[in-house]
Amino acid sequence: MDIFSKCYKGIDLLKQARELDVYPYFHALESRQDVEVMMEGKRRIMLGSNNYLGLTANPDVIQAGIDALKKYGTGCSGSRFLNGTLRLHQQLERELAEFLRKEDVVTFSTGFQSNLGIISAIVGRGDYVICDRENHASIYDACRLSYGTMLRFKHADMQDLERQLQKVPDNAGILIVTDGVFSMGGDIANLPEITRLARNYGARVMVDDAHGLGVLGEGGRGTASYFQLENEVDIYMGTFSKSLASLGGYMAASHEVCDYVRHVSRPFIFSASITPCSCATALEALHQLISHPELVDHLRYISSYFRNKLTERGIKIRMSETPIIPIYTYETIETLSIAKQLYNEGVYVNSSLPPATAPHECLLRTSLMATHTEPLIDEATEIIYKVLKVNGICK
């Protein structure tokens, strides 16, 4: 059998979506990522970005990237391990560690690679890694890359987490890994109970805070800060591609754990370092977050404002305390069709389909930025209401 046969056959849903002209992917931006964008020749209100603090368009962040490009050139052409470490990388790690109140930080070239690099280094043969079923795909791939045994617990089900912990041999190391803020539903992990169980069973805790940094906690420090459990979480993982408006990822932990990962993690050792421009923009975005905690406050306010506007219109949403606000649209093709209609009307949202959702519980994933305004949200809400009403999703 030709190994390419699956490629020629294609994926049934994608073929159907293309035939119905509701294919939702790879729409091309023609402007910077912002609350309003030019996309394929038309103005769209952006409700599908992870640019939570709106810093991709911040003049100081942009200038920091330009300055780094001029000083350091376009790339480092090597790994951090060998010739690819800049003073800028070390400064970013030092200042991020101080902000997160951890001893040390290791930076990776992407957020996806961060999870691969951390988990595959920490979880060895004979160890166990226990994951929430709705964790990000990079966590699942990281568990496969490790030599440990992966166990999964039902999403947010602490009784099931304890059942999984009880399966682990007494002499095995245990790492519990959870998203801090779950990227599809916008819900927050039950860190108080997770850390309590970890203490009881001798486990360590790692939180993927990609969608928590800049969103939750004191000054945007993330999910552990939100629960005042910073000393109970052993490893934070996060990204620069969301609130920090750049590209890359990080691990925050103790000096010993970070040093171990630096010298053992294959995805870290054998990858080129973050480009000077990406490093500088992430660092300046961190400075903006530290200097302007009101960005986090406004993000919280405008997210609540949008949730209230939707519920006032009778639109069924999945409730959350975060900028991720999913709207129920139920069926797969119907969801793709509604997303296309919204796109044509000037609102960009993301479609969330099985297996990311349960069958018949498809969602439109909307997400807010600190730079959204009330008039812009009012305009988007009216368009969403009009399209959903035409499709019989609300009255």
Predicted confidence (pLDDT) per residue in 355-372, tens digit? 888 889 899 999 999 999
| 393: exposed, middle or buried (Cβ count in 10 Å: 0-12, 13-18, 19+) | buried
pLDDT band with cut points at 50, 70 and 90 for residue 177: very high
Answer positive or negative: Cα dihedral of 152, 153, 156, 161: negative
Query: Is the pLDDT confidence value at 304 over 90?
Result: yes
pLDDT of residue 165: 98
Work out the angle between the directed axes of helices 294-312 and 374-390 (0-180°, nearest 10).
Answer: 30
Count of CB atoms situated within 10 Å of the CB of 169? 9
Q: H-helix or E-strand containing 150?
A: strand 149-153
* Burial of 125: CB neighbours in 10 Å, binned 0-12, 13-18, 19+: exposed
Distance CA(172)–CA(129), nearest Å, equals: 10
In this structure, what token pair is assigned to residue 111? 């957020």
Q: Is the pLDDT of residue 296 over 90?
A: yes
Model confidence at 171, pLDDT cuts 50, 70, 90, reads: very high
pLDDT at 25: 95
Asked if residue 395 has pLDDT above 90, the reply is no
Task: Please tell me which of 10-14, 24-28, 358-362 the model is most confident about, judged by mean pLDDT.
Answer: 24-28
Give the tokens for residue 234. 């052993």
Q: What are phi and psi of 207, to 5 degrees?
A: -115, 120
Whether the pLDDT of residue 254 is over 90: the answer is: yes
Tell me whether residue 211 is one of the annotated catalytic residues: yes
Give the model's pLDDT for residue 355: 83
User: Is residue 387 over pLDDT 90?
Assistant: yes
Check residue 331 and report its DSSP letter. Answer: S
Residues 143 and 121: their CA atoms lie apart, in Å, by: 10
CATH 3.40.640.10, domain 59-291, yes or no: yes
Question: Given this model, what pLDDT does residue 83 score?
Answer: 94
| Residue among 89, 102, 136, 242 flagged as catalytic | 242
User: Which among 114, 183, 225, 303 is annotated as catalytic?
Assistant: 183
Q: Are strands 249-253 and 104-108 parallel, antiparallel or unpaired?
A: antiparallel
Whether residue 144 is predicted with pLDDT greater than 90 in this model: the reply is yes
User: Average of pLDDT values for 36-50?
Assistant: 97
**Whole-number pLDDT of residue 74:** 97
The class (CATH top level) of 12-46+293-390 is alpha beta
Smallest CA-to-CA distance from 233 within 194, 289, 272 is with: 194
The pLDDT mean for the chain works out to 96
| Residue positions counted in the chain | 395
Catalytic residue among 211, 298, 340, 372: 211
> For position 22, what pLDDT does the model report?
96
The two structure tokens encoding residue 211: 């969608």
Q: Is the dihedral of CA 381, 382, 387, 393 positive or negative?
A: positive
Residue 319 has a pLDDT of 87
For residue 354, name the pLDDT band (cuts at 50, 70, 90).
confident
**Catalytic-residue membership of 242:** yes
d(CA 312, CA 58): 33
CA torsion 123-127-133-137 (nearest 10°) is 20
For residue 356, the model assigns a pLDDT of 80
Question: What is the mean predicted confidence (pLDDT) over 294-310?
Answer: 98
Residue 303: is its pLDDT beyond 90?
yes
Domain ranges within the chain, ordered by starting residue: 12-46+293-390, 59-291
Structure pTM? Answer: 0.96
pLDDT tens digits, one per residue of 69-78: 999 999 999 9
- Residue 357: its pLDDT value, please? 83
CA angle 110, 111, 112 (to 5 degrees): 90
Q: Label residue 335 by pLDDT band (50, 70, 90).
A: very high
Tell me the pLDDT band of 233, cut-offs 50, 70 and 90: very high
CA distance 363 to 336: 10
pLDDT of 10 > 90? The answer is no
**What is the pLDDT averaged over residues 121-142?**
97
Question: What does the pLDDT average to over 340-360?
Answer: 92
